[in-house]
Amino acid sequence: MNDDIQVEYRPTIHDLPQGERPRERLEHYGAGALSSAELLAIILRVGTGGENVVRVAERLLARYEGLPGLAQATVSELCQEKGIGQAKAVQIKAALELGRRLLVTAPHERPQMRSPADAANLLMAEMSLLPQEHLRTVLLDTRNRVISIPTIYVGSLNTAQVRVGEMFREAIRANCAGMIVVHNHPSGDPTPSPEDVQVTRMIVEAGSLLNIDVLDHLIIGRQRFVSLKERGLGFK
């Protein structure tokens, strides 16, 4: 018998402090209180190479730029990711397909945006880890329920890049009543820049002309966010 044989340590959800375990948090607070990374961690169950399962989930979401990108990945692509075998890849795809079918068959189950925190909680786990700036729009129906969350821009945001037609193309196609603009600061500091405020003003004015209510512009940092609407920046 070889005493030098080492078994890879694979951290599980149970290695997290009890108050941070996604399954326990779901039981106590409901699924809506969990981030996308925490929900994905429940499906994955086991981390890899000393990385706890929530970090694995966050890494996956960052790698595929959120749930839409993860949903488009194939089983073979997911199997190339560290710690994701065929069984886990199939489980991820099955869970995401169930979510897609639920949105199609039960629109009343779509998340409803009642405050800036609702939108931030929906996207923070994914967008706070992205290495580049991403600008997304949360498209909403007349009851502020989420229709879709398309990515509009990737890269540094400035007024020279923003074209109103691109900003609102998906919103018009979805016939949405309102939208929330969200972008991240890879530095981790969500403090709005003068360019952020100027872009916000342009978007709000364009939305008014198109009869699409721009409810807010959120900037996501590292587990923090800023609402430009709450700060009165770019909104009248």
Mark which of 58, 76, 108 sits at the end of a domain: 108
Mark which of 108, 131, 161 sits at the end of a domain: 108
Q: Are residues 131 and 226 in the same domain?
A: yes
Note down the domain range covering 227.
110-231
Using one digit for the tens of pLDDT, what is the confidence trace for 144-194? 999 888 888 887 665 556 677 788 998 998 999 999 999 999 999 999 999
Q: Are residues 159 and 208 in the same domain?
A: yes
Asked whether 111 and 122 are in contact (CB, 8 A), the reply is: yes
Domain membership flag for residue 8: no
pTM above 0.85, yes or no: no
Using one digit for the tens of pLDDT, what is the confidence trace for 24-46? 888 887 877 778 888 888 888 76
Domains in the chain, number: 2
In sequence order, the 6+-apart residues with CB closer than 8 A to the CB of 126 are 36, 37, 58, 61, 62, 65, 66, 67
Residue with tokens 């990108």: 69
Domain membership flag for residue 7: no
Mark which of 92, 108, 124 sits at the end of a domain: 108
